[in-house]
A and B are shown apart, each in its own frame.
Chain A
């Protein structure tokens, strides 16, 4: 493999505490190394910003509901197609890009790892086929557990060992990465036309509450010692007043301690926090609850969060929170798709336009920015748009502009039709904080990598780590004349390396890299009861056999990278 040296760049690396010093980064055989030979290829990064490849902790980029969005929204591709050029295949789609465009766009912005946030286990094969067809970036997928019949039946009797054994089996069967919960109990209740809007609403038939599911899955997660914490989209998403449900959910993590060998320090990850930080009683008195939620998270160190920034675009919402999508369709009257996934989960899809002329959308935009600006520890708060729910991931450079520049935020606030309402219902106008490049590296690299249990591998530039490196045309020594320059610089990298291979040069794709599928292989003690239960459910209820269920082999996972976990001694 070739050697590279990235010379004279301003390096920002939270893993080593480097805050913009001029340093050379050496790459050899896919890894960051201390030094390389004189024959190494030189990349001139003078007056440029150098960071590790960015890590996406939560996006919907592969699988049946993403593809349902693509299929039922031909208008999303209408004027957003790019023809074949250079290394690139043709691509299309604005809020739900094709797999190829997804890989290219992430890479061009300096992202080298991304997590698909909700994999329906029954359709893991579809998820992996799309991951396989998404070039360059390493990807993992989180199977959803929060409405799973096995989990609810075991946890009803607090059978943690059985829950953990089932989780381990499912992670292996679906090549999954982490335990994801979406609207615990609520999506199953949706099968009865109901929902669970608080953590104490009983799930019909199963006679269990969301609180019991959440606590039980945290316990199972720590029993196994998985790389990532339990990753949750709580109940009552997107409703005025939902911040109280969010706080109730976060309090369930109190008292739990991490147990893992991957350097992870938290037991719960709260995703798309913006959608869960609403105060008020209706859309008229709707206001921000960002302060209440971030105050709690600032004080309680066993939680990490991501933001879910609204980007003010036309987009496609999609979630395993089936009842929420039905509710949303009732609000905007646009087309609604809904899928039930047998014993496991469901999903809904509805297009949505976050209009700067609608006060609720503008307030949502402000809440998404308040959260990272109010979070004291950037290592526990990560930037996402919950792609494509609050906006497409291709808008990250714009979110970064708003976070790094008060001037840019003020310009957007002034452009809103209901500016006064945004200022009265949120505190965005009084937040002067501007995120530094070092904090940005924490929020998009070191932080998410650590939360995912990947801190030894990516998110930093320490010798021995994977050589995932992004070089931006951004000179930190020069004052920013126009905030739009920030957006331009973070949109297209000068150079990107993925595992030591240069994949982007001057904003163009130059290699499709060596994409890997990350998954977690957990070994547990033999558990005949769980194996019998699985067999029985396949015989009695599933519409397919176990042999057709598992995502195995080269077709689905051509280049796997398994994180091994030994839980046999647990």
Chain B
């Protein structure tokens, strides 16, 4: 695997849309060619090389390419946009849409990331060592197709509206989450090791939510059914099991009505 390191040298005055910073866009290119890829600052299109120092050539394919992003990229959006393979390491904190529409490969964000990360993600892996923003693994505005595959791990906290319209894949948050989790979900799994606030699983049709900490206010549409012992991430614990959202339509599978499942640690 070849490594390309891009380091912020001229910080943009406005926010920078760097939708070409992905192993797919870099693949098969030399450092000089990568520096010529387009980026957008406001309504102006210019080159990656204007803002970043680019060192190293990419591999022949996306799978053979690793990108390391260094320097202050707090005002850079769309890192890892639509990537299908390879690796991306972001050393600091960054802005919106990290790994949005990603289908494969691996992203490691060592700092914090902002909202809309992994929008409509289909596959691959996103690891965030800091905190994640709102709408993590959610659907695009207006769309009904959220995260459908892959895995997201957040070591810190995550914001509101995570996993909105999720249909598959897994989100694990080691810290706490804000309001609205897995709203409208039709599949997928959310594990929260810390606490949740309110509106957890609102309008959920299918899928699974596991909360180790507290839930400030339960949705009235969730019905307690039993207690269950689950093994999550290698640890066994006892949970209260709720099904819902009872106010929504639910599909049948093998003659049985399928509900969303919410487990809260006892």
Residues of A within 8 A of B (CB): 72-76, 78, 333-335
Contacts and interface: CB of A to CB of B under 8 A. Distances in A.
B238 interface: no
B144 interface: yes
Contacts of A334: 144
Interface stretch (B84-92, B124-132, B135-143): B135-143
A324 B243 CA distance: 33
B98 to A, nearest CB: 17
B142 A72 contact: yes
Interface of B is mostly: loop
6 pairs of A and B residues whose beta carbons are closest in the complex? A75-B143, A74-B142, A75-B142, A74-B141, A75-B140, A73-B142
B141 A75 contact: yes
B138 to A, nearest CB: 12
Interface in B66-102: none
B9 interface: no
Contacts of B140: 74-75, 78
A74 B142 CA distance: 6
B141 A333 contact: no
Contact of B249 (A74, A333, A335): A333
A357 to B, nearest CB: 16
A519 B191 CA distance: 61
Contacts of A333: 249
Contacts of B142: 72-76
A67 to B, nearest CB: 14
Nearest to B82: A79
Nearest to B143: A75
A66 B238 CA distance: 52
Contacts of A76: 142
Contacts of B144: 334-335
Interface in B168-186: none
Nearest to A335: B144
A467 B143 CA distance: 43
A335 B144 CA distance: 9
Contacts of A75: 140-143
A416 B26 CA distance: 35
Given A75-B142, A78-B140, A335-B144, 12 more contacts: A72-B142, A73-B142, A74-B140, A74-B141, A74-B142, A75-B140, A75-B141, A75-B143, A76-B142, A78-B143, A333-B249, A334-B144
A222 to B, nearest CB: 45
Nearest to A74: B142
A78 B101 CA distance: 12
The residue in B140, B141, B143, B249 that gathers the most chain A C-beta atoms within 10 A of its C-beta is B143
A75 B143 CA distance: 6
Nearest to A333: B249
Interface in B115-166: 140-144
A143 to B, nearest CB: 30
A391 to B, nearest CB: 19
Contacts of A73: 142
Contacts of B141: 74-75
A68 B144 CA distance: 17
A456 B263 CA distance: 72
B168 to A, nearest CB: 17
A76 B141 CA distance: 10
Contacts of B249: 333
A75 B113 CA distance: 23
A177 B44 CA distance: 44
A163 to B, nearest CB: 42
A76 B140 CA distance: 10
The residue in B142, B143, B144 that gathers the most chain A C-beta atoms within 10 A of its C-beta is B142
A218 to B, nearest CB: 41
